[in-house]
Amino acid sequence: MPLEKYQYLSNVWRDDIFKNKVVFCTGGAGTICSAQVRAMVHLGADACIIGRNVEKTENMAKDIATARKGAKVIGIGAVDVRKPELLQEAANRCAKELGSIDFVIAGAAGNFLATIEQISPNAMKSVIDIDVLGSYNTVKATLPYLQESAAKHRTDGKTEPANGTGGRIIFVSATLHYAGTPLQSHVSVAKAGVDAMAMSIAIEQGPKGLTSNIIAPGPIADTEGIDRLSKKETRERSYKAVPAGRYGTVKEIADATVYLFSDSGNFVNGETLVVDGGAWHTAGFANGFSYPDFLLSGETVTGVGGGKKAKL
């Protein structure tokens, strides 16, 4: 259903700053990525969102399009980011139907809660394949379009770019691997790989005008991550562990996205923008599992949607 603007975008941004631009987003039907794309569309962009579930992806595309009258938003489902040929087809369709790909959000990810002895080799591989190879496949499919956009929209930082910005990519990562997070070794490994890849792209593609940055969200309220990876009965305790005193909102991730993609982010490249209210500095068992008692018990995670109960 259509959302009120302030649910996904602050009022500080000028309308049409992304007019005639196109954003391509994997994981675009998810709660965080859809907010990122919705903000871009509100500010003038057209969009193409990619997902595995056809109905969910197509419905979300229609919903995002309500952010701006006349917006064009394509939803392409049945795309597994682990299959490069499917991503290439999606990128080509996006560029053909919408005219370009100026911005990319690599947001597809997989997660569940489990200790290292409970994670099967196949489960570990699946998470790494979705996060790391999925991000790589996204870059490979869209890089020629991003390079073309970057060449058209380079700026010296001294004068306002006549045609706006372009040629930028954001990887949606996490803070799990900064200090170490119990029950998240598989995702920590995957996100560390994503971060390393983003830095290499920044160095290699920066001379061609591209920027490559990371947004690392912390605990964001009313998202699939919170629903799947924390216990409802302990959430009040866990958000009190956030120095800001609350969970974040999808709007705050969307605002960070607009910052990096807009004229304000021209000279930001190869950086990680952590949007977590300071949560990773107090990281521990904020998801409701007592440390170290739970680990020593040998129990399997229960009470959350993202628990790992069987081998994949």
Residue among 61, 65, 64, 39 at smallest CA distance from 50: 61
Q: Alpha helices of 43-83 — where are they, by DSSP H?
A: 54-64
* Cα distance from N-terminal residue to C-terminal residue, the chain: 34
CA dist., res. 273 & res. 214, Å (int): 6
Residue 297 annotated in active site:
no
**Strand order of the sheet with strand 73-76?**
73-76, 46-50, 22-26, 103-106, 168-172, 211-217, 272-275
Q: Alpha helices of 217-292 — where are they, by DSSP H?
A: 224-229, 235-240, 250-261
Token pair of 267, please?
């000279």
Residue 191 annotated in active site:
yes
Question: 185-205 vs 121-128: helix axis angle to the nearest 10?
Answer: 30
Identify the burial level of 56 via C-beta atoms within 10 angstroms of its C-beta, where 0-12 means exposed, 13-18 middle and 19 or more buried.
middle
Query: 148-177 in b/e burial notation, b at 16+ Cβ within 10 A?
Result: bbbeebbbeeeeeeeebbbbbbbbbbbbbb
Cβ-contact 254, 31 below 8 angstroms? no
Cβ-contact 241, 286 below 8 angstroms? yes
Q: Which of 21, 100, 191, 308 is catalytic?
A: 191
Q: Which of 173, 188, 212, 230 is catalytic?
A: 173
CA dist., res. 208 & res. 201, Å (int): 11
DSSP 8-state secondary structure symbol assigned to residue 43: T
Q: Which residues have a catalytic role annotated?
A: 173, 191
